[in-house]
Amino acid sequence: MSTTNRRLGLAVTATAVALVLAACGGGGFDDDGGSTDAATDSTATTDGGDSGTDEGSGSGLDILIASSGDAETAAVQDAVAAWSASSGVEASVRVASDLNQELAQGFAAGTPADIFYVSTDAFPGLAANGSIKAYFDELGNKADFYPTLVDSFTYDGTPYCAPKDFSTLALVINDDQWAAAGLTEADYPTDWASLKTVAEKLATGESTALSFGPEWQRIGTFMAQAGGTLVEDGAAVVDSPANTEALTYVKDLMSAGLVRYPADIGAGWGGEAFGTGAAAMTIEGNWIVGAMKANYPDVSWTAIELPSGAAGKGTLQFTNCWGIATDSDQQADAVELVEFLTSAEQQMAFANAFGVMPSISTVADEWKTAFPEQEAFLAGADYAQGVPPVQGIADVLSDFNSQLETLSSTDPATILTSVQGNLQAIL
């Protein structure tokens, strides 16, 4: 348990916007795919016997997670129990009913959990105010992590925490609608032109061709494919020609009736639009696999890498890290546990239990063998962009998403100019 009372309070409320924008990355993917912070009220305690703490009171490690469901909860409990038994260090797992709120309350009271999930948009604020320990370089397996994931948890040049798992976005295709349109595997789109061509064949009176959420967390893939991004060399580059080209392309697809947002076709998210057949294609992460199994088991689908834009391939990645509180008096034990939880064996155990993608490249081949139908998601690890580790980025993206809701009737340059100003203001 942590003891030192200090700092923040207000600063930690950055976590209040935290996992909302995690866009399903880093959480468990075993349920309906729409949320990573769905909670249960179960609490598991694993007693490892005598305390083996290096620094603290030996009262045991407190681990706070936001679970996607029973499978993720059980998997984390089992892993912590196994480590506790071998290390002799007591450890307990709590499942937050509201992770953001419970983290904020813990930090404000000076009693945060020792280890907890941290989203990419919450990370910059926690790093800036000194709430989380920069322990990444202490890990024996630090060289195994995908560099793009480590970048997501690097602040002022210092890598802080170990990525827990991750997902990227891919193009998911309804096989039956694809075949009904006279398309074959040879027609899988590889660039924007071929995406529009197949979309024109898939659009029918009963179904739209492509649907995805009105947010940077989906439309940002087109920006990446055009060569755009949000931040470059410490400066905002939202209003770049590449980003303008990307939003213009998406708007043109909307104007042609080839892309519609889920809410416009009676769905809550892209996966639902796809599963119900309201859309023949969607752009989602591999959390959609659990949703399809649970809710639409009769729908046959194929996931492929997203088509390239003018600058080549592009996608977005979503992840959480294992945060360790600076206030924890058992930091050495916490680092040891995180190293165990991110080991090759344990990451594959998590993948098998609740469908996540390991954050280390050393098990990539093993994972692809186990989940060949999801290979396109892992392929994106080589070129994916993440949420820029900038304090206040969550608010900027929230505003960006609000403006993207009206993309079909708004000049793309107007939206990008507005977001450019907002982002530059916090850099």
Q: Looking at residue 289, which CATH number applies to its domain?
A: 3.40.190.10
The region that residue 167 occupies, defined by phi over 0 for left and psi between -120 and 50 for alpha, beta otherwise, is beta
Q: Is 373 contained in some domain?
A: yes
Mark whether 301 and 232 lie in a shared domain: yes
Q: Is 277 contained in some domain?
A: yes
Query: For residues 298 and 300, what is the distance between their CA atoms, to the nearest angstrom?
Result: 6
Q: Is 196 contained in some domain?
A: yes
Asked if pLDDT for residue 6 goes beyond 70, the answer is no
Query: For residues 106 and 360, what is the distance between their CA atoms, to the nearest angstrom?
Result: 30
pTM of structure: 0.86
Q: Is 401 contained in some domain?
A: yes
Confidence of residue 216 (pLDDT cuts 50, 70, 90): very high
Locus of tokens 């024996």: 140
Mark whether 286 and 421 lie in a shared domain: yes
Mark whether 188 and 155 lie in a shared domain: no
Predicted confidence at residue 100, as pLDDT, reads 82
Beta bridge partners of 357: 166
Mark whether 372 and 234 lie in a shared domain: no
Predicted confidence at residue 179, as pLDDT, reads 98
Do 388 and 153 meet the contact criterion of CB atoms below 8 Å apart?
no
Predicted confidence at residue 4, as pLDDT, reads 37
CA nearest 377: which of 314, 319, 318, 303?
303
> In the predicted model, what is the mean pLDDT of the chain?
88
- Environment class of residue 188 by beta-carbon count within 10 Å: exposed (0-12), middle (13-18) or buried (19+)? middle
Confidence of residue 121 (pLDDT cuts 50, 70, 90): confident
Mark whether 216 and 281 lie in a shared domain: yes
Predicted confidence at residue 289, as pLDDT, reads 95
Q: Is 22 contained in some domain?
A: no
At 77-112, the pLDDT tens digits run 999 999 999 999 999 999 999 988 899 899 999 999
Predicted confidence at residue 59, as pLDDT, reads 75
Q: Is 7 contained in some domain?
A: no
Asked if pLDDT for residue 43 goes beyond 60, the answer is no
Mark whether 310 and 332 lie in a shared domain: no
Query: Which of the pair, 206 or 285, is modelled with greater confidence?
Result: 285
Asked if pLDDT for residue 199 goes beyond 90, the answer is yes
Beta bridge partners of 45: 92
Instruction: Identify residue 54 by its one-letter amino acid code.
Output: D
Mark whether 194 and 301 lie in a shared domain: yes
Residue 148 makes CB contacts below 8 A (sequence gap 6+) with: 317, 381, 384, 385, 386
What's the domain count of the chain?
2
Predicted confidence at residue 38, as pLDDT, reads 31
Domain that holds residue 110: 61-164+319-379
Asked if pLDDT for residue 345 goes beyond 90, the answer is yes
Q: Is 334 contained in some domain?
A: yes
Mark whether 112 and 127 lie in a shared domain: yes
Confidence of residue 186 (pLDDT cuts 50, 70, 90): very high
Asked if pLDDT for residue 316 goes beyond 50, the answer is yes
Mark whether 358 and 261 lie in a shared domain: no
Mark whether 344 and 402 lie in a shared domain: no
Do 216 and 400 meet the contact criterion of CB atoms below 8 Å apart?
yes
Mark whether 146 and 226 lie in a shared domain: no
Mark whether 397 and 346 lie in a shared domain: no
End-of-domain residue from the set 379, 401, 417: 379
| Mean pLDDT, residues 261-275 taken together | 97
Confidence of residue 194 (pLDDT cuts 50, 70, 90): very high
| Mean pLDDT, residues 257-270 taken together | 97
Q: Is 221 contained in some domain?
A: yes
Confidence of residue 42 (pLDDT cuts 50, 70, 90): very low
Predicted confidence at residue 101, as pLDDT, reads 86
The region that residue 217 occupies, defined by phi over 0 for left and psi between -120 and 50 for alpha, beta otherwise, is alpha
| Mean pLDDT, residues 197-214 taken together | 96
Query: Which of the pair, 116 or 15, is modelled with greater confidence?
Result: 116
Confidence of residue 205 (pLDDT cuts 50, 70, 90): confident
Query: For residues 231 and 423, what is the distance between their CA atoms, to the nearest angstrom?
Result: 9
Query: Which of the pair, 64 or 205, is modelled with greater confidence?
Result: 64
| Mean pLDDT, residues 403-411 taken together | 98
